[in-house]
Amino acid sequence: MHSTKILWQYLKYLWVGPVTLVFLPLIPLAYWTGSRVGIHTGVIEISGGRLGQRLNKGLPLFGSAAAITLGHIVLGISPYYLERTRVHEREHVRQFERWGFLFPFIYFGAGLWALVQGKRFYLDNPYEIAARQAEGRE
């Protein structure tokens, strides 16, 4: 049973791999710009430094964010915010593991659908609602 669980986890990493691979260059960039890099529960976490400052200033369609999930990489403003948002961001990791490399397109489509319905792209996106529910906020 244990080897099946390990195999299943490897398959999830492969399924999400194309997205994670695109954002792997953030790791050396993080080191060069004063960010921290570590691994927590199988996810690469990057926090602080210039990347954290950029995240704090805001991203298109999202605005300022405490953290963002990019496949099996989570970028946070600081170690404090990584800890504070871990449950929320791990729900996004699970969403990536469910939908794989298609998830960014699915997420974006869900946000556009919310806009078409007169709602907000980010706050009314069902994937954000699910992440808030995971942390007990909805």
Confirm whether pTM is higher than 0.95.
no
Instruction: pLDDT tens for the chain, 138 residues: list them.
Output: 588 999 999 999 999 999 999 999 999 999 999 999 999 999 999 999 999 999 999 877 677 889 999 999 999 999 999 999 999 999 999 999 999 999 999 999 999 999 999 999 999 999 999 999 999 876
Count: domains in the chain: 1
For residue 42, the enclosing domain spans: 2-134
- Spatial neighbors of 71 by CB under 8 A, at least 6 apart, are 16, 17, 18, 19, 20, 21, 22, 23, 96
